Amino acid sequence: MTFDLEYNSERDHLIIPEYGRHIQKLVNHCIALETKEERNVMAKAIVDVMGNLQPHLRDVPDFKHKLWDQLHIIADFKLDAVSPYEIPSKEELTEKPQKMAYPKSASKYRYYGNNIQTMINIALTWEEGEKRDALIFAIANHMKKCYLNWNKDTVDDAVIFKHLYDLSDKKIDLRESKEVLSESKNLLRKRSSQGQSTNKNASKTKSNYTTTNKYRKK
């Protein structure tokens, strides 16, 4: 008795492995059919089976269009059958995508983040008054907190005002202002207190877990 065993190394390459080898064989058989009418009927049946194998595609807009495109991809664009959608080309699939420009920050003070720049731009659009001054002061305080998080434990307010002047394109000038920002120790205390509360919660959870296991063992 002899067995005609089929090894994976001898099989054809699966173009879309998610659908499995049976779908690949069905598509190959569909390509080999003699009449176009037969290929049309079988192509529609294969698309229905593909839809059942990938039910999550039903949540994707135009999922039928996606299935037909995948059918032609599995067929290596050799299937001559009527498609309800425009048949993609092999060149379109293999075409290299356009190179995306790497996002560059316009500021050299990257430790403040892009949100600070957005807030400054919004502040510049506001009319002068108490609300605008309050927003600028809040921005400066947040800048000081960001500076302390990424650099060191202390910073002069004059440094923050100078950076705010640069980031606002010289439109917000607090360099000669008598305004005083929050003290560094207060900002650092908030940061450390948050860390301590996190550690306390972790210790409490660990203690509860130990206690529960203790009673379970009894």
The b/e string for 24-56 (b: 16+ C-beta within 10 A; e otherwise) is bebbeebbebeeeeebbebbeebbeebeeebee
Kindly state whether residue 216 falls inside one of the protein's structural domains: no
Kindly state whether residue 44 falls inside one of the protein's structural domains: yes
Count of domains observed in the chain: 2
Kindly state whether residue 16 falls inside one of the protein's structural domains: yes
pLDDT of residue 90: 84
How do residues 111-135 score in pLDDT, each as one tens digit?
A: 888 888 889 999 999 998 999 999 9
Higher pLDDT, 12 or 78: 78
- Of 26-40, 96-110, 117-131, 135-149, least confident by mean pLDDT is 96-110
Instruction: Judge if pTM exceeds 0.85.
Output: no
Q: Are residues 89 and 14 in the same domain?
A: yes
Kindly state whether residue 15 falls inside one of the protein's structural domains: yes
End of a domain among 94, 126, 150? Answer: 94
- Mean pLDDT over 42-66 rounds to 87
Q: Are residues 130 and 69 in the same domain?
A: no
Residue 168's domain spans which residues? Answer: 110-187
pLDDT of residue 32: 93
